[in-house]
Structure 1
Amino acid sequence: MADLARKRNDELARILHQLGWSPERLAREVNAVLPPGMAISSTAPYKWRDRGMVPRSPHDQTVCEVLGRCVGIAVTYEQLWGQMGSNRGAKMLSPRLLTDPWTADTAQTALREAGADGAPVRLTDLFRGDELEQAARHWASPPPPVTGGEGALRIAPEQLADLRLSYDSKQRLERAYGGGLILDLAKAELAMVGKLLELGSYDEPLGRELYGAASRLARLVGWANYDMGNDAAAQRAFVAALRAAHVSGDPRLGVGVVGCLAVQATYNSGGRGLDPVAMLSTALRAADDVLTPRERALQLGRIARAHGRKGEQISAEAVAERAFRVLEGLDGHDQERADLEGMIGEGFLLLGEHEQARGLLQRAIEALTAERARVKALLMVRLADSYRRTGERAEAEDIADRARRLAAGMQSARVARALRDFDSAMRAEA
């Protein structure tokens, strides 16, 4: 165990107080789920709470899981331990993850790292914006040869079909219940696909499809990490997804990954100095002729929201209008239209345009189904915050309570953090 800054862990103290637990009770609950021989002492949680000490792996993550299960909402590593200034328990990003040649072999290396069951990655390991922009330009270059494919495991189209079904089911679970529910499963499946790429027997067309499946899984791992507040680990997975998309030769996959990086940079510390508008706009221009209307509208919505974050109202409105035109007159896109309304509503909220934001957010919330419960809960908190900011506290509290009920048990640090921030702002204004 590392004795760090010897400062009190206020977040751990707050959660223990909320649960009515003593440090000894926390020790008992943690020991109940640990394998034999890994038990902690009954006094260890005192050191975590009062002296800022951080437990080593796997105890650090186990504490998060135990507390999250009992609180009923995700408790993340960054939330609990990230402010303690840890210099241990964190896996360093490969310094060559962005700069190594963009080949099939280095894509496999990146995929293995993204699927590894390593310790959490520190926020200080985030890439710089210029590094990410340079990497994001690679996906549009001609794909490299598919090397390998001469292993003993024969890969058939049926295995690819199974991987697609598995990805679709995990994505549905993530959208409904949060990234924490599927993160470990998705990482394990990504590691398995990495083994198939390494040990499998496949020709070039099948190999490119296999890299495409790996890219989708790595993107899902990245998104689940982002949803759980693990920004640096999310970046690592997104870069792996970008490399695999490049080998697959499918530019639509590359644009989707760049879009995820843009979302992260819009709302979080991911990509220090990264301009999400410029990066995603460049990607969209490079692949606009191959994108489906749904894909094009999604990325335009992300660009409009990023303009809102930058305070660029005229640009936000212009891009939003383009995005809605893309879906105009198309049947069977109700959820995509609701997604778009939610993103544009968030953009107007960032601009302080509450009337426009509320109309869009309310329509999105009404249209989103139970399968999209995570984003629905998040948009409800955004709507509640709009009413709070204009002094309509009763309406704000009512909407936040509805969001809280919807999010009960949800494994999403983004939703949990949004609710905590809302509650803190309400208390500060009381």
Structure 2
Amino acid sequence: MADLERRRNEELARILHQLGWSPERLARELNAALPPALAISSTAPYKWRDRGMVPRSPHDQTVCEVLSRTVGIAVTYEQLWGQMGSGRGAKILSPRLLTDPWTADTAQTALREAGADATPVRLTDLFRGDELQQAARHWASPAPELTGGEGALRIATEQLADLRLSYDSKQRLERAYGGGLILDLAKAELAMIGKLLELGAYDEPLGRELYGAASRLARLVGWANYDLGNDAAAQRAFVAALRAAHVSGDPRLGVSVVGCLAVQATHNSGGRGLDAVAMLSTALRAADEVLTPRERALQLGRIARAHGRKGEQISAEAVAERAFQALGDDAEHSQERADLEGMVGEGYLFLGDHERAQQLLAGAIAVLAPERARAKALLMVRLADSYLRTGERDEANRVADQARQLAAGMQSARVARALREFDSAAR
């Protein structure tokens, strides 16, 4: 809860007076509507009414729902909590983002929320690992019914082609200059696709492709948020992408989104107990037959790195070998091989095997193209860290200086944080 100033919530007080409810009665009604694990104390509503505090999700939305049913007219989030100021609790995001039915309508809702310019989501709003595991299983179930759009805007394949070109350009910019450069643009375009889904006229095949385009863009919004350190907002965008991928009927999209969630859980607190290896391995098995060699190798590399983070060397090496075999020796896959070498190198760095980590990281850095500057800068910092740990301080500083030059002006919190951590360790 946020308690920036003690300011009475006059709207909540008015509604409770209208109903003849005490704060204790509101607590009882809420607890009757919530799972036992989310029960609140009988005194919590006093803080909401008299001190201007705002409950966290899902309690904030549940208050609106309980009061709406009792009053007989809608009591909205904005009406009840909006006047208390920004930063005071959860926003317009659905507390049932993971548990709402997996339909086209709820996918549209999730996409709108991912593209909305809402109050920043707090780190404490991260989903639990078991919640994400449950959501990750849904993408492999049969796609829901989609009868087509019946709106006034006629959608054609030309619009889909334009959306794909726009997505590709934003992805290239994000990879080169960081998520901060494209996040607002990507969110605005995601909101636009949401409008097309809501107001457009399209048949089922075109509609499924449109949901696929929305899934890719929501995944990009999630990745940009992750690159900026907005982990909870990233998760919500990834879940929206997963819902849209489910409606599109394309399992390859679903696997790619689960892979993003696994990367987030591997590197930081995203997921709160999420087993990245188990979740991504399950997704990979479910869609293995439809994945391209490049896609399969990418996800296997992510699994190998996650094994390394868990200290499971034998499993990490076995999965890494499968990843390199899946990619083969095709010269056209040089960038993908560099990506894979970088992931496996990070895995060895987690395991403390610096000889192999340095060999793989240096090889990846040498091959990655200039348009992959953000990934290259991150791997440079990893390599510098490895040199520092093995006592090669001059080499570590040299590589770190190269990373700083490459990252100058880059809008990536991940790169900035990695450099700060290296500097701290070097001191």
- TM-score, length-scaled by structure 2: 0.79
Q: 1:157 to 1:307 in 2, by over 3 A?
A: same
AA paired with 1:113? E
* Counterpart secondary structure, 1:201: strand
Q: Distance in 1 between matches of 2:195 and 2:87?
A: 31
- Aligned to 1:135, what secondary structure does the other structure show? helix
Q: Tell me, yes or no, if the aligned pair for 2:338 and 2:367 is still in contact at 8 Å.
A: yes
1:333 match: secondary structure: helix
Structure 1: how far apart are the matches of 2:90 and 2:366?
Answer: 41
User: Could you list the runs of 5+ residues in structure 2 that have no partner in the other structure?
Assistant: 6-85
* Residue 154 (structure 2) aligns with: 154
Q: CA deviation at 1:393?
A: 1.1
In the aligned structure 1, how far is the partner of 2:91 from the partner of 2:390? 43
- Aligned mates of 2:238, 2:261 — CA distance in 1: 7
> Deviations along 1:328-368, whole A, 9 cap, x unmatched?
13230000000000000000000000000000000000000
Q: Report what 1:106 is aligned to.
A: 106
- Residue 4 of structure 1: CA displacement? 5.2
After superposition, give the CA deviation of every residue in 1:242-291 in whole Å (9 maximum; x if it has no partner): 00000000000000000000000000111111000000000000000000
**1:378-400 deviation line (CA, Å, top 9, x unaligned):** 00000000011112111111110
Aligned counterparts, 1:276-315, within 5 A: 276-315=276-315
Q: Which residue number corresponds to residue 394 of structure 2? A: 394
Name the residue aligned to 1:10: none
CA drift at 1:87: 5.5
Aligned 1:389-428 pairs, distance under 5 A: 389-427=389-427
2:317 alignment partner AA: E
Counting only pairs closer than 5 Å after superposition, residues 4-403 of structure 1 correspond to structure 2 as 88=88, 91=91, 93-147=93-147, 149-403=149-403
State the shift of 1:327 in Å: 1.3
User: 2:87 touches 2:120 (CA, 8 Å); kept in 1?
Assistant: no
C-alpha displacement at 1:146, in angstroms? 1.4
- What's the CA shift for 1:147? 4.7
Task: Give the aligned CA root-mean-square deviation in angstroms.
Answer: 1.4
Give the number of aligned pairs: 346
Q: Does 388-397 or 154-163 show the bigger shift?
A: 388-397
Equivalent residue for 1:12?
none
Summarize the Cα distance change of 1:293–1:322 in structure 2 as closer, same or farther, 3 Å threshold.
same
- SS of 1:411's partner is coil
Instruction: Give deviations 1:164-222, integer Å, cap 9, x for gaps.
Output: 00000000000000000000000000000000000000000000000000000000000
Q: Does the aligned pair in 2 maintain the 1:212–1:245 contact within 8 Å?
A: yes
CA distance in 1, matches of 2:362, 2:89: 42
Quote the Cα distance in structure 1 between the aligned partners of 2:88 and 2:392: 45
Q: Which has the larger radius of gyration?
A: 2
- Cα pair 1:89 1:120 within 8 Å, conserved: no
TM-score normalised over the length of structure 1: 0.79
Q: Which runs of 5+ in 1 are unaligned?
A: 6-85
What letter matches 2:198 in structure 1?
E
CA contact (8 A) 2:92 2:118 kept: no
| Partners of 1:148 and 1:198 within 8 A in 2 | no
- Matched AA of 1:172: R
